[in-house]
């Protein structure tokens, strides 16, 4: 099977007044790909990601996500993607089971599907014993892994991960990437942002945004060659230093 494009972005632009947050970006993401979305603070990543998730309309350009048009079918996009951010994902005052039940309901799963998915997830994450514990009582690392699984409850085609490993301990950070690899090997497309440059190396392809534009796009190997850098940190430094639009 030739890889299907699950995200297709063409000349996408978003302006706020006279400020161009996202400036004419074009790229595709294939099914099952781990796509790293990098950029300095203020480069326009969040704005671009909000558009791709159907949360904000572009000023101009075209994009389709999971087979749906950004302008016409934003609601269908929301049903077909998963989203997880470092800042918010689970309700801390609900138990593990209640969170799964809640998100299952939001994503429109049947009771039977919710039951099946919960069992599968609790086994995979070894959370069986904690099923009736409040989420806030779980160590952060477990919470992050659970957030990821919850974002995957409805078997979305694409999962958007916004700095999923920020503040996480180094072992859990690596376990988290194992979850990413497993999801990708099952055909889920993973769209991920990170400030950890070692994690950029784990992506199939990486894009780097500078001043609202996508200034680099390719596999880590290609980018390192193109910028004569020994690692992705080196590639990132070269590009981000060029930025004229500073976050401060």
Residues that bind another protein (CB under 8 A): 39-42, 86, 137, 139-141, 163, 166-172, 174, 177, 181, 195, 197-202, 220, 231-233, 236-237, 240-241, 246-248
Q: Measured from the CB of residue 183, what is the shortest distance to another protein in angstroms?
A: 13
Closer Cβ to another protein, 2 or 247, answer by number:
247
Cβ atoms of residues 147 and 82 within 8 Å: no
Q: Measured from the CB of residue 90, what is the shortest distance to another protein in angstroms?
A: 14
Q: Measured from the CB of residue 38, what is the shortest distance to another protein in angstroms?
A: 8
Q: Measured from the CB of residue 54, what is the shortest distance to another protein in angstroms?
A: 24
In this structure, is the dihedral angle defined by the CA atoms of residues 45, 39, 241 and 213, taken in order, positive or negative? negative
- Give the integer Cα–Cα distance in Å for 163 and 157: 19
Q: What contacts 47, CB < 8 A, 6 or more positions away?
A: 14, 21, 22, 56
- Give the integer Cα–Cα distance in Å for 97 and 150: 11
Closer Cβ to another protein, 108 or 248, answer by number:
248
Closer Cβ to another protein, 107 or 236, answer by number:
236
Q: Measured from the CB of residue 146, what is the shortest distance to another protein in angstroms?
A: 15
Closer Cβ to another protein, 46 or 73, answer by number:
46
Q: Measured from the CB of residue 161, what is the shortest distance to another protein in angstroms?
A: 15
Closer Cβ to another protein, 154 or 173, answer by number:
173
Buried b (16+ CB within 10 A) or exposed e, 134-151: ebeebeebbbbbbbbbbb
Closer Cβ to another protein, 67 or 233, answer by number:
233
Strand partners, 22: 14
Q: Measured from the CB of residue 112, what is the shortest distance to another protein in angstroms?
A: 32
Closer Cβ to another protein, 114 or 180, answer by number:
180
């Amino acid at each position: 099977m030739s890889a299907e494009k699950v995200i297709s972005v063409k000349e996408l632009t978003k302006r706020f007044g006279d400020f161009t947050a996202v400036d004419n970006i074009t790229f595709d993401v294939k099914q099952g790909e781990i796509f790293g979305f990098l950029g300095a603070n203020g480069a326009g990543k969040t704005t671009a990601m909000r558009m791709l998730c159907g949360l904000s309309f572009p000023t101009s350009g075209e994009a389709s996500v999971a087979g749906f048009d950004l302008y016409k079918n934003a609601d269908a996009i929301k049903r077909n993607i998963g989203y997880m951010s470092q800042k918010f994902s689970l309700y801390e005052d609900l138990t593990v089971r209640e969170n799964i039940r809640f998100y299952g309901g939001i994503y429109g799963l049947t009771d039977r599907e919710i039951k099946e998915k919960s069992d599968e997830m609790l086994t995979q994450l070894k959370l069986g014993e904690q099923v009736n514990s409040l989420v806030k009582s779980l160590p952060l690392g477990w919470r992050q892994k659970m957030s990821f699984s919850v974002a995957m409850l409805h078997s979305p085609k694409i999962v958007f991960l916004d700095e999923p490993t920020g503040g996480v301990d180094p072992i859990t950070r690596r376990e988290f990437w194992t979850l990413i690899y497993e999801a990708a090997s099952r055909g889920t497309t993973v769209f991920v942002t990170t400030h950890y440059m070692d994690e950029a190396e784990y992506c199939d392809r990486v894009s780097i945004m500078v001043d609202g534009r996508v200034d680099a796009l390719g596999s880590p190997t290609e980018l390192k060659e193109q910028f004569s850098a020994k690692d992705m940190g080196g590639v990132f430094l070269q590009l981000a230093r060029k930025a004229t639009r500073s976050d401060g």
